Chain A
Amino acid sequence: GQSLEQPSEVTAVEGAIVQINCTYQTSGFYGLSWYQQHDGGAPTFLSYNALDGLEETGRFSSFLSRSDSYGYLLLQELQMKDSASYFCAVIQRDDKIIFGKGTRLHILP
C-alpha cells in the first residue's frame, strides 16, 4: 500500500530551528515535495527533492534519503508567520501525487 507519516503537531520557539519529518511507503517513487498552508489559505509549494541530499531555499531546507524512504523539512530562524500546516507529498512515476496528513506547527514567542 501507499502511506505517508508525519507528526500531527510540532511546537517550537520563535528564532529557533525545527525539523518536520516525513516517512513514506509507496510504489514508483519519483520525488518528495513540501507545501505550506496557513489557516484559511491554500497550500503553497515550498520545495522538492528528487535526489538524496539537502535542498536549501532561504530559511527553509528539505532533505531526502531514498534508501530510508525518509525526508524532512527544516525551518530556521522561526518567525511567527511560519505558524501553519506543512504537508509532505510523494510524487510517483505516473505523476500521481499523494499528500501526507499534515503537521501543524505552533510557534511560541
Chain B
Amino acid sequence: DTAVSQTPKYLVTQMGNDKSIKCEQNLGHDTMYWYKQDSKKFLKIMFSYNNKELIINETVPNRFSPKSPDKAHLNLHINSLELGDSAVYFCASSQTSGGNSYEQYFGPGTRLTVT
C-alpha cells in the first residue's frame, strides 16, 4: 500500500520527444506537487495542485504542463524534451487544509535521461 507512487521509475528518451510521468497518492491529501532534483541535488518545486487548481507555478518552461484528473493524481507532461531536462522528478503530496503543508510525502522519483 504505497502512499505516493509514480511511473515510470526510469525514462530514457531522445531530444525533441514528448513524455509523461504519472503520479498517484492514496493518502487523501488535498495538495500534490512536482519537484525537479538536478545533478547537484538541488530540490526545486515546479508545480502544486490543490483541489484540482494550480496554486503554485514556478518559473518553469511552458513545455512542462501538469495535469490533474482528480485530487489523487497529478501527471507531468513534457514537450520537446531538451538535454537540460535530465534530472530526477519527484511527486509529493500534503494536507494543506489542515495546516500540514510542512509534512510532504514524496514518491520514489523518476530518473529522466534525455540523450
Contact = CB atoms under 8 A, between A and B. Distances in A.
B96 to A, nearest CB: 5
Interface in B98-115: 101-109
B41 A102 contact: yes
Contacts of A104: 41
Interface residues of B, number: 20
Interface in B65-97: 90, 96
6 contacts: A42-B106, A42-B109, A45-B105, A87-B43, A99-B42, A101-B40
Contacts of B96: 95
Contacts, number: 52
Contacts of A44: 106
The contact size tier of chain A is: 20 to 34
Interface of A: 30-31, 33, 35, 37, 41-45, 48, 50, 85, 87, 89, 91, 95-99, 101-102, 104
Contact of B102 (A48, A87, A102): A48
